Amino acid sequence: MKQWLLSGICYLPFCMLHATELGECGLRYLGTDRHLMPVNKTTVAKLAIETNPIFDESAADTIALHRFANWLHINTKAEVIAERLPFTVGDSITPEDLAEAERIIRSQAYIRDARVSISGSCTDEDPAVVTVQTWDNWSLIPTVSFSHKGGESKFSVGIKEDNLLGLGIRTRFKYNTDEQRSGYQLTLKSATPMLMEHSTLLFDFLDNDDGNLLDLKFDRPFYDARSDTMFLANYLTDDKVVDIFHNGGIRNTFASQSHRYEAATGWQFDSTLLLSQRISVGLVDEEYRFSPDLLNLSSAELLPQDRRFQYVWLGFESLQRDFRVMSDIYLIDQAEDINLGWHYQAKLGLDFAQDNTQSGLGYHLQLNLDKGWQVNDGLLLMSASGDATFNQSLADHYLLSVTAEYFKRYTPLLGMYSRLSVSTEHNPWLDLPQTVGDESGVRGYPLQYQHGEHSVSGSLEARLYSGYNIYKILDVGFAGFVDVGRAWGGDEGLLNETDQVLSSVGIGARLYSNRASHQSVIHIDLVKPLTSTDNVDSWAWRAQVKQSF
């Protein structure tokens, strides 16, 4: 006899509604309400992996373009999916493990969606078959992009493949130019199970007209709830010329030479279905050296101070799992895994490279906190971070930031989004200024328009989800928005063209392809700045690619 389970919506209308057929003793975990599902453990006797193409050619609205895309695309190999799973044949698993497997597979850029189910058994005495179904994204993307924002333009052309030959290997070759530099980029990233289970190796090289970047990274993170250890090794060098913008123009230009070498390992000392606690240790050597740019000599007072750190650190992490499968949060019509649980991270570092003022050691402190809540049938997400270095030859420095975002859906057509961001900094580093402008809180103003030790910005958006899709390739949305913000305080704040609160209003279109691996949203906006100054245009248009609606 067939049984059906209807999984309810947790946060209307963000969570997805599923009706799932259950076998005699089969189970399927949907990630929406763990209490509705059995908690029996069962042993994996076999993995049955089914990889599906980008488009379902049996659908009535299939066109020749969809068939051509499927023909040209190489489906993800079954062995690649098997390697990404957090369990294998012989492991004992629970419904929570199935939900986590779905999240992990769905997090791969080349996978649009995943379903993991069990059939045949619910007990260890009678092992079962785990079926994994995946649906691919289009992963070979010729990139030609142009953006104009804050009075500055960027252009890039290249090609990237996030799933080379169906092997899950990320490759990219790109030429790009913007207001600061132009050059070429080559990126390779691949899983390396031959070195260590669930590890990856990254090679990233940029050759620009003002310098180059080389990033080599081996990373084996805390991959899932079962992961007992993590390992990290990173080699990064970056030489470039940096422009600092202020009041609608370039305030300072300098050459920057930096490196960061890091090695770390960690252990999970406590783990349940809902909570993991971990401890980690690492060693960091990083240096930032600055010099005047010979082509754009600037005042010595505006040149950042060199920084050199060598420190060992001890870290603690606590991750509470309360994941929900939602849609229309940051993307359009796309399954998104949102964790509503508490997530704490803390690191304390002891620096031995400094000519310290009070003792033989300097200190580094980093704190991060994330949490989500259901509030009035909406979704509230909060994040906070802190970073401090003190008792060193440099002046004591700290930066504290808090961001809160609220998402509310009124009808299938209409939604609302609001954001509030607050930051305060003591002794800001001149190469990383605290700013408010087009890319930092208030659209329509020049880049890094206002500077200061403190900043606050907020946005209110009405979002229109049209439900219109262009040939299953682009989902279309619209937004009307109001932004406000201000940066002030410190020596840099005294140089601001205006101390007024900046504000703007605008409308825009949003284009998103939920069949492509880049998971980027195209923004096309027309903005009216409401604060009038000599260096602010009365109207501004902006076209750019972002990672959210």
What whole-number distance in Å separates Cα of residue 549 and Cα of residue 540?
A: 19
What whole-number distance in Å separates Cα of residue 461 and Cα of residue 329?
A: 13
- For residue 22, pLDDT over 70 is answered with no
Which residue, chain included where needed, has tokens 């940029």?
A: 206
Which tens digit of pLDDT belongs to each residue from 297-343?
A: 666 678 999 999 999 999 999 999 999 999 999 999 988 999 999 99
Which tens digit of pLDDT belongs to each residue from 270-286?
A: 988 889 999 999 999 99
Instruction: Identify which of 525, 522, 483 has the alpha carbon closest to the alpha carbon of residue 505.
Output: 483
3-state secondary structure 321-340: CCEEEECCCCCCCCCEEEEC
- For residue 72, pLDDT over 80 is answered with yes
Q: Are strands 229-246 and 18-22 parallel, antiparallel or unpaired?
A: unpaired
> Within 13 Å of residue 358, how many CA atoms lie on the same side as its CB?
8
CATH architecture of 140-353+368-547: Beta Barrel (2.40)
- For residue 133, pLDDT over 70 is answered with yes
Which tens digit of pLDDT belongs to each residue from 409-456?
A: 999 999 999 999 999 999 999 999 999 999 899 999 999 999 999 999
Which tens digit of pLDDT belongs to each residue from 353-408?
A: 766 555 678 999 999 999 999 998 999 999 999 999 998 888 999 999 999 999 99
Backbone angles phi, psi at 71, to 5 degrees: -65, -40
What ranges in 20-160 are assigned the alpha helix state H? 64-72, 78-84, 95-106
- For residue 123, pLDDT over 80 is answered with no
Please report the pLDDT score of residue 271 as a whole number.
86
Q: Where in the sequence of the chain do the CATH 2.40.160.50 domains occur?
A: 140-353+368-547
Which tens digit of pLDDT belongs to each residue from 191-218?
A: 999 999 999 999 999 988 878 999 999 9
Please report the pLDDT score of residue 257 as a whole number.
96
What whole-number distance in Å separates Cα of residue 170 and Cα of residue 176?
A: 19
Please report the pLDDT score of residue 110 as a whole number.
94
Quote the tokens at residue 118: 């069990």
Q: Give the whole-number percent of the chain exceeding pLDDT 70.
A: 86
Mean confidence (pLDDT) of the chain = 87
> Within 13 Å of residue 406, how many CA atoms lie on the same side as its CB?
15
Q: Where in the sequence of the chain do the CATH 3.10.20.310 domains occur?
A: 28-136
What whole-number distance in Å separates Cα of residue 58 and Cα of residue 53?
A: 12
Instruction: Identify which of 312, 423, 302, 303 has the alpha carbon closest to the alpha carbon of residue 361.
Output: 312
> Alpha carbon of 501 to those of 401, 458, 509: distances in Å?
19, 11, 26
Which tens digit of pLDDT belongs to each residue from 227-254?
A: 999 999 999 999 998 989 999 998 888 9
Could you tell me if 112 and 55 are in contact, meaning their C-beta atoms sit under 8 angstroms apart?
no
Could you tell me if 439 and 455 are in contact, meaning their C-beta atoms sit under 8 angstroms apart?
no
Which tens digit of pLDDT belongs to each residue from 448-458?
A: 999 999 999 99
What whole-number distance in Å separates Cα of residue 50 and Cα of residue 76?
A: 10
Could you tell me if 411 and 420 are in contact, meaning their C-beta atoms sit under 8 angstroms apart?
no
Q: How many whole angstroms from its chain centre is CA 347? A: 21
Q: Give the whole-number percent of the chain exceeding pLDDT 90.
A: 68
Query: Taking the CB of residue 533, how many other CB atoms lie within 10 A of it?
Result: 16
> pLDDT tier at 183 (50, 70, 90 boundaries)?
confident
CATH architecture of 28-136: Roll (3.10)
Quote the tokens at residue 351: 């620096």
The span from the first CA to the last CA of the chain, in angstroms, equals 44
Strands (E) in 104-151, as ranges, are 111-119, 128-136, 140-149
Which tens digit of pLDDT belongs to each residue from 483-527?
A: 999 999 999 999 999 999 999 999 999 999 889 888 889 999 999
Instruction: Identify which of 56, 63, 130 has the alpha carbon closest to the alpha carbon of residue 91.
Output: 130
Dmax over CA atoms of the chain, in Å, equals: 81
Q: Is the dihedral of CA 427, 430, 435, 440 positive or negative?
A: negative
Please report the pLDDT score of residue 121 as a whole number.
58
What whole-number distance in Å separates Cα of residue 361 and Cα of residue 311?
A: 9
Instruction: Identify which of 156, 150, 131, 162 has the alpha carbon closest to the alpha carbon of residue 50.
Output: 131
